[in-house]
Chain A
Amino acid sequence: QSALTQPASVSGSPGQSITISCTGTSSDVGGYNYVSWYQQHPGKVPKLMIYEVSNRPSGVSNRFSGSKSGNTASLTISGLQAEDEADYYCGSYTSSSTYVFGTGTKVTVL
């Protein structure tokens, strides 16, 4: 099972919106609505930000939203803030009843 493909880095200015893509195959991202997104600050534990493509856990800002089209899922952060600077990983259920993470994206707030 290969890792899902994410851009290595994405940047934006405060207040702007950015989108991170996550590309897989029909055996993972494209085949199920079980894509999730995690935020990880340096030296910290990953935090669930989006589950089942577009659902936000309680306590997660509504500035974070998720979507999916075909084999590609996306995470959009609107109204970018300094605290959003972190690494972001997508994850997906797979047809082998396993789980796979994306390669990770470093978000920089300019």
Chain B
Amino acid sequence: QVQLVQSGAEVKKPGASVKVSCKASGYTFTIGYYIHWVRQAPGQGLEWMGWINPNSGVTNYAQKFQGRVTMTRDTSISTAYMEMSRLTSDDTAVYFCARALTITYLDYWGQGTLVTVSS
């Protein structure tokens, strides 16, 4: 069965960086599917951040996050990563990874990783 397992909760200080991992299993990581990253601030809606094509490493980020977010992958361990720099309190949110048939729909989601930014 398809599973996406994310790394654990993080607490960071303003100005720091965070890197969240997303390990995929139950399907071929590099064929046919992209990994998207979505975040949800407390009490707020879903916000799309970007995607990575695990096969090629090509990425596409939401304009809001360009220059501050980097998505990478390690195909040898079927894992995608999302790194965000220059964190502020506004970045406090649950971060989800999700598998998608390219850019069409997100069918499997990770369990979410809470990132708390606090001084």
Chain A residues near B (Cβ < 8 Å):
1, 3, 34, 36, 38, 40, 45-48, 51-52, 57, 87, 89, 91, 93, 96-104
Flag if A3 contacts B103 (CB, 8 Å).
no
**Do A98 and B103 touch across chains, with their CB atoms under 8 A apart?**
yes
Nearest Cβ distance between residue B13 and chain A, in whole angstroms? 26
Query: How far, in Å, is B42 (CB) from chain A's closest CB?
Result: 11
Contacts of A3 in B (CB 8 A): 45
Query: Does residue B107 face the partner (Cβ distance < 8 Å to A)?
Result: yes
| Residue B33 lies at the interface, judged by CB distance under 8 Å to chain A | no
User: Bound state CA distance, A36 and B112, in angstroms?
Assistant: 20
B36 adjacent to A99 (CB under 8 Å):
yes
Total count of chain B residues near the partner, CB < 8 A: 23
The answer to whether B46 and A52 touch across the interface, beta carbons within 8 angstroms, is no
Take A45-B96, A45-B112, A46-B96 as given contacts and tell me if A51 and B104 are in contact as well, using a CB distance cutoff of 8 Å.
yes
Known: A45-B109, A45-B112, A99-B51. A104 touches B46 (CB 8 A): yes
Is the beta-carbon distance between A46 and B109 smaller than 8 angstroms? Answer: yes
Q: Are A46 and B104 in contact (CB under 8 A)?
A: no
Contact flag A36-B105 (CB < 8 Å), given A1-B62, A89-B46:
yes
| B110: chain A residues within 8 A (beta carbon) | 45
B87 to chain A, nearest CB (A): 22
How long is the Cα–Cα vector from A101 to B44 in the complex, in angstroms?
Answer: 12
Further contacts, 6 of them, CB under 8 A, given A98-B62, A103-B45? A1-B62, A38-B46, A48-B105, A48-B107, A52-B105, A102-B45
Residue of B nearest to A50 (CB): B105
